[in-house]
Copies of this chain bind each other. A is one copy, B any other.
Amino acid sequence: MSVKKIVVLPGDHIGPEIVSSAVEVLKTVEKKCSHLKFEFQEHKIGGASIDAFGTPLTDETIKACLEADGIILGAVGGPEWTNPNCRPEQGLLKLRKSLGVWANLRPCTFPSKSLLKYSPLKSEIAEGVDFCVVRELTGGCYFGERTEDNGSGHAMDTWPYSVEEVTRIARLAAWLAQTYNPPAPVTLLDKANVLATSRLWRKTVAKVFKEEFPHLTLKNQLIDSAAMLMVKNPRALNGVVLTDNLFGDIISDESSVIPGSLGLLPSASLSGIYGQTENLNCLVEPIHGSAPDIAGQGIVNPVGTILSGALLLRYALNAHKEAAAIESAVEKVLNDASIGGRGLYTRDLGGDAKTVDITKAVVEELEKIL
């Protein structure tokens, strides 16, 4: 049995509080599953790294991440790092780039039905929402050449994509769709009635599905209608939602408010597919920020980070059963919280439970399940 190296990057403010919850849950998995052995190694990133080393990401941290089997990140940033040329976020963007994680997975679902009441959407609209946004993460207008307006009165961004970049992420989306039972439909979001790159996406994704995954359902949706549908009838997008870097940034954030608290949702960034890609890199993190306003009080919701740990097990270590067990444990705790009143909801859900209360409850449930 090989030991799996997991790099832990707590980051700033609430970061250390939430990653320690996730680590505790992963240690419970390790304790109960004799075939899994973890070695955790902690490193600084973001503001914490700026304070210690003058840079938001050191070469040493990058090296450790590249050698790891998986990386779990808390959150970076805060109002105290004001130098525009040395921002905590730059550490995160540089890490994504160094790891070559070109696919960002953002599942959007209710970890417990009891949370429906927290959705800004009416319950009958939000109920049953269950999709995963697959966002391209290292291309498009995020990484095209640009011309700043340095006095000319003109600026320009460019938005390049290649068949190669789109093919690999189309395959990843199809692979993900096949992990559902029955296989999930894949909806490609683009603006093919305007953009050349969207037409490249549409053509390339259609080709990959036709030639390699003819049994899967591929749908097309313009990004503007998708932004409507996400509010009006989000279940119509259930399954896998595939899209480019910028559209993915917007639509995944739009979708993330549906379950009622940003504190609930995980994400995973991947450089490929387990078993198909050599030296697979996998970086998981909750989707919320570093929340300086509530740091240090022990009241942050650890669920998004705990569920990120589950994604690490699933996508980096192929440990599906264990990932599902964490998800079930979280669901159980949140269901119980709704029955027993507010006891085990954190403040973002109107409760007064502490981070450690939730973590302890999840660990206990997990010990029963595994």
In the complex, chain B residues whose CB is within 8 Å of the CB of A157:
158-159, 195-197
In the complex, chain B residues whose CB is within 8 Å of the CB of A156:
144, 158-161, 196-197
Query: For chain A, which range describes its interface: under 10, 10 to 19, 20 to 34, or 35 or more residues?
Result: 35 or more
Docked-complex contact B141 and A194, CB < 8 angstroms: yes
User: How far is it, in angstroms, between the C-alpha of A125 and the C-alpha of B257 when the chains are bound?
Assistant: 13
- Contacts A149-B199, A154-B163, A162-B154 given; indicate if A191 touches B257 (C-beta within 8 A): no
Nearest chain-B residue to A151 (Cβ)?
B163
Stretch at the interface among A63-71, A243-251, A359-367: A243-251
Docked-complex contact B148 and A199, CB < 8 angstroms: yes
Q: Does A122 contact B (CB under 8 A)?
A: yes
Contact pick for A194, options B142, B162, B233, CB 8 Å: B142
Docked-complex contact A158 and B159, CB < 8 angstroms: yes
Q: Does A258 contact B (CB under 8 A)?
A: yes
Q: Does A153 contact B (CB under 8 A)?
A: yes
Q: Which residues between 114 and 130 of chain A lie within 8 Å of chain B, taking CB atoms?
A: 119-122, 125
Q: Which residues between 209 and 265 of chain A lie within 8 Å of chain B, taking CB atoms?
A: 223-225, 227-228, 230-233, 246, 249-251, 253-254, 256-258
User: How far is it, in angstroms, between the C-alpha of A244 and the C-alpha of B119 when the chains are bound?
Assistant: 29
In the complex, chain B residues whose CB is within 8 Å of the CB of A148:
196, 199-200
Chain B: minimal CB distance from A285 (Å): 16
User: How far is it, in angstroms, between the C-alpha of A156 and the C-alpha of B200 when the chains are bound?
Assistant: 9
Q: Does A164 contact B (CB under 8 A)?
A: yes
User: How far is it, in angstroms, between the C-alpha of A160 and the C-alpha of B149 when the chains are bound?
Assistant: 10
Nearest chain-B residue to A195 (Cβ)?
B157
Given known contacts A149-B199, A223-B250, what 9 new A-B pairs fall within 8 Å (CB)?
A: A120-B232, A141-B195, A154-B162, A154-B163, A155-B196, A156-B197, A224-B253, A231-B254, A254-B254
- Which of A's residues lie within 8 Å of B, judged by CB? 89, 119-122, 125, 141-142, 144, 146-149, 153-164, 191, 193-197, 199-200, 203, 223-225, 227-228, 230-233, 246, 249-251, 253-254, 256-258
The 3 A-B pairs of least Cβ separation, nearest first, read: A155-B200, A227-B254, A146-B196
